[in-house]
């Protein structure tokens, strides 16, 4: 029997002591209370003795540097002895809280004042605390303009490339920024259409009411006709208990306790790393049953989908990896980020995330619960994937932008339960596909997706360059635009159930060769097909309008050229199918006769969502 002993100093909640990894039968055991650096040593020990299993006993382990796995760790499994009981924490505990004014408490952080430590998320008693925000609700309006036309992504973006000055300045209304504004502390989110830019302040010129940012935005202020912004991390934004800000100028973190919160007993963490575990080039690595919490992000614009940030768990060019039964929560960047494909994410719980829940390409995401993402970056996407990914049987909700995005060839998005997406931004949907080639949306249940204005929101959205895709057997309720299609062609929309308590719109601007068949549409108001001239086949559908109005509008590019009533007859029926959709997604069919006449298959949205509950 071989035993490998590794000694080090303890970091964390327990007193300093030696610790042991026992390599019995090829298993490395990490004891509770061990310094997280010892897990690195345990990985090294596993390499030396050829062990392929590392077990982590319950406890909280603090990560001072990212734990890295590479090709020397091929075939390694790291798992918690009790699912969810071993927590890897990428932060440090903050203590020494003192009264700071009437309502606030603060803790001195010399490293912050020296410019050696910066962070933009704080966890207090297990909760991702809210940053100070000005204004308390809503958004401020700036006066910058950028009237250059957007030529579409396929068309190359802006007709004229924005200048550095346009990307780093914003003209504000003098009354909106008070005299106490501290540029060193302030961070500003400038909103665009489908994304936003969080940037720091380099300087403020009150004579010209102009702010200069410390880095470039993703788009100029005022682009797309959007003139809104919010100021974070200033004392003036401390509006209610539970908020905090980092006073870089004074070198302290300031917090307003909730009612009954005793700061002498509070557990407060601030992040020190952006990634807790990174798998880089390793094959067939499995990480099972661990929890990951508290990570940081740098101060820069997140880009489309807030995709510029790292993940708490990061997998790069690693084939055959499995992330199973993980919980990732209270992190500032992505929850899980995968590049290079070949990774399976199964039965994971991803929640309270600053940016995206899961981001990757050519991955398999199944039976997972992803919610309350985009807590810091509202353009974040709960699940963002590319290539031949499978996104199946997940539950996704509470997203400021799109819930699921899948691009590229061969993607399958099926049997997902999606609600409360598109809560802040525009031009997205429950499921959004860009440049999908032969991709499939099947068996999903989308409900309660609000329209926040701008370019609108949708349930199922095929965008630019999407070709030969199929949207079938999906259910949508409570969504005014259940199907949106833009600059796409040769796609088929069939055997779906769309129900809305008002006017319903199906759109096809700049599309071509569409097939729309054997769908059931039930609207209390008008049913409008915009771009009906881009639909090659409209057949075998039930189009029931409570107002008796079913209208087709022809389009040239984005402009309407005429409207006519859609004729009912052999191909399409106006009969009330008397269907209802339960909260589970189950579709109850009151009149099956019309379905039999049109040979429409009954579908059931209750099969969408996770098979295992969390």
Q: What is the pLDDT of residues 133-164, one digit of tens each?
A: 999 999 999 999 999 999 998 899 999 999 99
Is 480 domain-assigned?
no
Query: Do 241 and 149 share a structural domain?
Result: yes
Q: Which residue from 484, 490, 479 is spatially nearest to 447, judged by alpha carbons?
A: 479
pLDDT of residue 36: 40
Query: Do 107 and 49 share a structural domain?
Result: no
Domain finish residue from 39, 55, 71 = 55
Q: What span, in angstroms and rounded, lies between the C-alpha atoms of 507 and 154?
A: 19
Residue 67 reports pLDDT greater than 70: yes
Q: What span, in angstroms and rounded, lies between the C-alpha atoms of 472 and 168?
A: 44
pLDDT of residue 334: 97
Residue 360 reports pLDDT greater than 90: yes
Query: Do 118 and 214 share a structural domain?
Result: yes
Is 186 domain-assigned?
yes
Query: Do 211 and 114 share a structural domain?
Result: yes
Query: Do 2 and 146 share a structural domain?
Result: no
pLDDT of residue 38: 56
DSSP structural state of residue 349: E
Query: Do 46 and 177 share a structural domain?
Result: no
Q: What is the pLDDT of residues 294-335, one digit of tens each?
A: 999 999 999 888 999 999 999 999 889 999 999 999 999 999
Domain finish residue from 223, 242, 268 = 268
Is 396 domain-assigned?
no
Domain finish residue from 239, 268, 297 = 268
Query: Do 244 and 119 share a structural domain?
Result: yes
Q: What span, in angstroms and rounded, lies between the C-alpha atoms of 371 and 331?
A: 13
Q: Can you name the residues that pair with 409 across neighbouring β-strands?
A: 437
Residue 291 reports pLDDT greater than 90: yes
Is 533 domain-assigned?
no
Q: What is the pLDDT of residues 442-499, one digit of tens each?
A: 999 999 999 888 888 999 999 999 999 999 999 999 999 999 999 999 999 999 999 9
pLDDT of residue 452: 81
Starting at the edge strand that comes first in sequence, how are the strands of the sheet with 127-128 ordered?
A: 91-93, 268-271, 123-124, 127-128
Query: Do 167 and 106 share a structural domain?
Result: yes
The domain containing residue 113 runs over which residues? Answer: 98-268
With vertex at residue 304, the alpha carbon angle to CA 300 and CA 308, rounded to the nearest 5 degrees, is 40
Query: Do 234 and 131 share a structural domain?
Result: yes
Q: Could you tell me the pLDDT band of residue 21, with boundaries at 50, 70 and 90?
A: very low
**Mean predicted confidence (pLDDT) in 574-587:** 95
Contact present, 420 and 397 (Cβ < 8 Å) = yes
Q: Could you tell me the pLDDT band of residue 47, with boundaries at 50, 70 and 90?
A: confident
Domain count, the chain: 2
pLDDT of residue 59: 87
Is 163 domain-assigned?
yes
Is 168 domain-assigned?
yes
Q: What span, in angstroms and rounded, lies between the C-alpha atoms of 38 and 241?
A: 38
Average pLDDT over the chain, rounded to whole?
Answer: 92
Query: Do 158 and 248 share a structural domain?
Result: yes
pLDDT of residue 2: 34
**Mean predicted confidence (pLDDT) in 585-596:** 93
Is 30 domain-assigned?
yes
pLDDT > 90 fraction of the chain, expressed in percent and rounded = 82
Q: Could you tell me the pLDDT band of residue 612, with boundaries at 50, 70 and 90?
A: low
Query: Do 252 and 114 share a structural domain?
Result: yes
Cα dihedral 593, 596, 597, 598 sign: positive
Is 162 domain-assigned?
yes
Query: Do 12 and 127 share a structural domain?
Result: no
């Amino acid at each position: 029997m071989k035993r490998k002993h590794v000694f080090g100093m303890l970091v964390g909640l327990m007193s300093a002591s030696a610790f042991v990894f026992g390599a019995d039968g090829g298993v490395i055991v990490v004891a509770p209370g061990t310094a997280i650096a010892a897990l690195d040593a345990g990985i090294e020990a596993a390499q030396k003795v050829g062990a392929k299993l590392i077990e982590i006993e319950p406890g909280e382990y603090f990560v001072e540097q990212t734990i890295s796995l590479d090709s020397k760790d091929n075939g390694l499994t790291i798992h918690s002895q009790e699912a969810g009981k071993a927590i890897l924490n990428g932060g440090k505990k903050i203590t020494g809280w003192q009264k700071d004014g009437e309502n606030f408490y603060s803790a001195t952080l010399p490293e912050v004042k020296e410019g050696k430590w910066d962070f933009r998320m704080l966890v207090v008693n297990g909760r991702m605390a809210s940053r100070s925000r000005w204004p308390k609700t809503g958004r401020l309006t700036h006066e910058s303009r950028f009237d250059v036309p957007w030529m579409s992504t396929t068309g190359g973006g802006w007709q004229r490339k924005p200048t550095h000055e346009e990307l780093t300045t914003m003209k504000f209304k003098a009354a909106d920024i008070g005299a106490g504004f501290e540029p060193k502390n302030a961070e500003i989110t400038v909103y665009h259409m489908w994304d936003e830019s969080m940037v720091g302040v380099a300087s403020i010129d009150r004579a010209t009411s102009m702010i200069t940012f410390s880095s470039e935005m993703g788009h100029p202020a005022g682009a797309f006709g959007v003139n809104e912004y919010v100021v974070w991390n200033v004392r003036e934004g401390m509006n209610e208990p539970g908020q905090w800000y980092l006073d870089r100028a004074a070198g302290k973190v300031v917090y307003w306790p909730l009612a009954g919160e005793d700061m002498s007993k509070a557990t407060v963490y601030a992040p020190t790393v952006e990634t807790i575990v990174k798998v880089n080039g390793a094959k067939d690595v499995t990480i099972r049953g661990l929890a990951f919490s508290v990570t940081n992000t740098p101060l820069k614009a997140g880009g489309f989908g807030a995709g510029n940030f790292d993940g708490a768990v990061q997998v790069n060019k690693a084939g055959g990896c499995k992330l199973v039964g993980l919980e990732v929560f209270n992190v500032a960047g992505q929850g899980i980020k995968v590049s290079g494909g070949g990774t399976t994410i199964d039965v994971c719980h991803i929640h309270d995330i600053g940016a995206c829940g899961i981001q990757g390409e050519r991955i398999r995401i199944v039976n997972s619960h992803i919610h309350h993402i985009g807590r810091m970056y509202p353009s974040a996407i709960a699940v963002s994937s590319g290539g031949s990914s499978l996104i199946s049987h997940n539950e996704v909700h509470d997203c400021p932008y799109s819930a699921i995005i899948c691009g590229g060839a061969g993607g399958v998005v099926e049997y997902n339960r999606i609600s409360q997406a598109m809560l802040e931004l525009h031009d997205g949907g429950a499921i959004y596909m860009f440049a999908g080639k032969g991709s499939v949306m099947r068996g999903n249940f989308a409900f309660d997706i609000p329209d926040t204005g701008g370019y609108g929101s949708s349930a199922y959205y095929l965008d630019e360059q999407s070709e030969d895709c199929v949207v079938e057997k999906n259910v949508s309720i409570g969504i005014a635009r259940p199907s949106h299609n833009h600059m796409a062609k040769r796609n088929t929309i069939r055997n779906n159930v769309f129900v809305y308590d008002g006017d319903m719109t199906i759109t096809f601007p700049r599309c071509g060769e569409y097939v729309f068949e054997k769908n059931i549409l039930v609207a209390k108001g008008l049913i409008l097909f915009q771009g009906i001239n881009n639909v090659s086949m409209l057949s075998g559908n039930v189009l029931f309008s409570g107002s008796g109005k079913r209208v087709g509008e022809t389009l040239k590019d984005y402009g309407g050229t005429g409207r006519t009533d859609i004729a009912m007859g052999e191909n399409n029926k106006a009969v009330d199918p008397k269907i209802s959709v339960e909260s589970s997604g189950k579709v109850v069919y009151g009149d099956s006769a019309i379905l039999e006449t049109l040979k429409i298959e009954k579908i059931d949205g209750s099969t969408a969502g996770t098979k295992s509950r969390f």
